[in-house]
Amino acid sequence: MPFVLIHGAGFGANCWDELIPHLNAQALAVDLPGRGTRAGVGLDTVTLADCADAVREDVEAKDLRDVVLVGHSFAGVTVPRVLDLIPDRIRHVVLVSAVVPPDGSRVLDQIDPGVRELVEQSIAGGVYHQTREAAAAILCEDMDEATTAATLDRLIDDSAALLSETVDLSGYRRAIPRTYVHLTQDKCYVEELQQRSIALLRPDVVDLDTGHLAMISAPGKLAAVLNAIHG
């Protein structure tokens, strides 16, 4: 039963590098379009459907089945599309402080007002650009200086579609077990918003005392949660 890991905005598959050695099963970290193995795709052209297709392609290429699908942050709007594409391959869904706005709305509509202003200022020409300073403030709050620097070195531009495209959550209606990992120190997807996502999904909930990038700041802790779900 493999893990398939979907990153959030501003990062690629390498954001899972610290976590993967702690997992007790095979793990596939997917690069969404516009970064890493898919760097040749123009970010300004990427849609949420493209992101889901990328996950499907990688899963089918390795013929993975009984997958524990793990989505972090903005992957919360990619995951349901993946569930609609390859439902028979997914055994369990794990959402790590995942953004799940109401069906038919936009991610931008649901972001904390203080964070949203920074995000809106960071969008131009279909591309979402975060500065190192802004990212450090909301993503690296529980990291030491060296870990923060290593994290920010992986920060990349992203598609504005992740934020501004209307979301389709129909995949979450499927009867696939799901767990939400609630990050109690998260300053990016704050407590109120995590609770809204939890209320929409009605998943099992596991609390983890970390900031937004738990896979980097506390990989052992997050892996313990995932390994327990994996069984």
Positive/negative CA dihedral, 98, 102, 104, 106 = negative
Average pLDDT, integer, range 207-220: 97
Give the pLDDT of residue 4: 98
The pLDDT-based confidence of 106 (bands split at 50, 70, 90) is confident
Q: For the chain, what is the domain count?
A: 1
Give the pLDDT of residue 115: 67
Q: Is the pLDDT of residue 205 over 80?
A: yes
CATH of the domain at 105: 3.40.50.1820
pLDDT digits (tens, 9 = 90+) for 107-119: 777 766 766 776 7
Range of 112's domain?
3-230
pLDDT digits (tens, 9 = 90+) for 46-100: 999 999 999 999 999 999 999 999 999 999 999 999 999 999 999 999 999 999 9
